Structure 1
Amino acid sequence: MSDLQTSLLLMMGLAAAFAGLGAVLQRLPSGRPLAVGLVSVTLLMLVYVVLLWDRPLLVRLLPFSSAIILGNWLPLIGAFYAGVCFQATGVPIVRRVLLSGVLVGLCGYSLASPLLGSTPRCARVEFERVLEFQTTDSTCSAACAASLLRVHGIDATEREMASLCLTREGTHWLGLYRGLKVKTAGTDWDVVVERVSGQTLLSQGSESGVLSLTFHGFASNRSFETGFAVQSGHAVVCLGRGGQGVLKVFDPSPDYGFENWDWKQLEQVESAILVRLEPRAGRAVERIPDPRQLWDNNVVYWERAR
């Protein structure tokens, strides 16, 4: 059984426990325990949404390859409300069943949604590269993940990473984290996730990693200047600073490749998540070559025929 299936079963069990707790509290003669339970669960939901939802802190608390499943706590909260609703004797049974059934259905869909759909069919390329171009419209993150792993001496392909990262119409950064976590298991490398800003990238630079980006809505007004589509996401390989106010990246879109980004590009970024590899604690690893050398030495870029 895979880590995702195990985690899904665990979360379903926890959801059932939360639903049972809500039902038990609703049936108690005194309404005080139910009121305390409702307030506590509601506060839990607010704290989760504000501090943990879609934030790197989540994988620090749950550093597992299945964090994309284990880190979704909204179905647990929904299950509690479903249990409370089902035992609300003052409401007609048909309404109770209908409402609680809808809540349970939404909870189940939310838990299973990362596993639904099919992985894009990546094309086979003639040459194996250190830095990989994407072969479909949806696999920029998968191509970047494969590139990052190769830079660190771990063999990977776009097709393999599209499957491991749970790529569908795109790839959530938690899916990217999962793919890298699976591939680095048993190696000297571990996966680190950080939220960064465009200003920080330009002023302080960054270690090599995959930048998972979303863009401001107004980017479409200047798409002819930046190439970024409105309300879209994209991923690139961050190679490090290329000088004052310049960030070197590898854009896996076939029409781009190596690029120098300045504030004109980075000001369009609404949010940026950097996913990188670092040595595990207590492990001595061989220093990887400076990824920026790939730009200067195309012999490394075109590695060998498949």
Structure 2
Amino acid sequence: MYPELPDYRHFYSNPIAKPPCRMLNAQMYGFFVEGEKAKIQAYIDSTLNTVPSSDFTFKALTNWCLLTFTDIENIASKVAPFSDYGYMQETDIIIWLPILKVSLEIRKAEHLYWYPAFIAVNNINALINGREIWGYNKYLCRYRMPEQFGKPLHFSLSLDTFKTFNPSTKMDWHDLLSIYPEDDDESWLKEVLEVGDEIATLFKASVCDLDVDSQFLKQFLSGFTHPQMDQILFKQIPDGYGEKAVYSAVVHSPSEVKKIHKIGFIKDDLHLDLQHLDSFPLNKMFGIPLGKSELKLPYYVKMDFDQAGVEEIVSTTSGITTQRR
């Protein structure tokens, strides 16, 4: 793939395994939460758009974020000899940002990507592989989620980090967010219809100033018949002082759904309770308000999927920019 580079060395005690990997019995709960588009765009500008391109830029699609809790029962590499080592369990808690790749010349939306801008995991092996191969911004966590589909629908996420930045602050475990049911006496069907209309309106408003390419619409609609989530990630390697990037890139990795075991909407009214942590200020990153927020279109799905390796979209190494797609 990169003939000018030396081979990566897999040595004893190095946990890096080769992708692609397959995920079996991934039980996902998903919820849409409202943020602020301007803050989301600022986050995109501070990550993806720092890798220069003369042809395109990345734009926030909407002020809505997708929050998911996913318990993956069985993960393993599909490449020998790593495929013979065994398998692991992993739980991911992710905030996804839907973003557009936009042509600078004709302001045309060319592609829809999903950006896992915040991700916490329970597995050190998954953290190391995810950060080093894909560029996932992973952090270790403690969490709570239903063991099986159904009630009680309680979720929580805690991180071992700094609650407030201060020289006297010791790192410790702190709650970041929780999700809990709360009945508002509104018809579930009415809510689904209302949210569907909201999402359609938001989508229309988000792209009204762009010439939406036919390939973009085809890709967006094809997801209903051939499920695939096109992930985009910001991957970088710091120098020895954490001042310069030895390597930075925008990379792409598709998740291809192989089998859906179960899927549906959640009828309960769910709310998010977000706490402030100086280390992970989700309110500043994405505009998700502190305290209580209503969650929209809660759903669940149990599936098997494959996660491919990454391909560079654009990269910078030693000050030289390379565009590949």
Whether TM exceeds 0.5 here: the answer is: no
Q: TM-score, normalised by structure 1?
A: 0.21
Structure having the larger proportion of residues in strand: 2
Pair member with larger Rg: 1
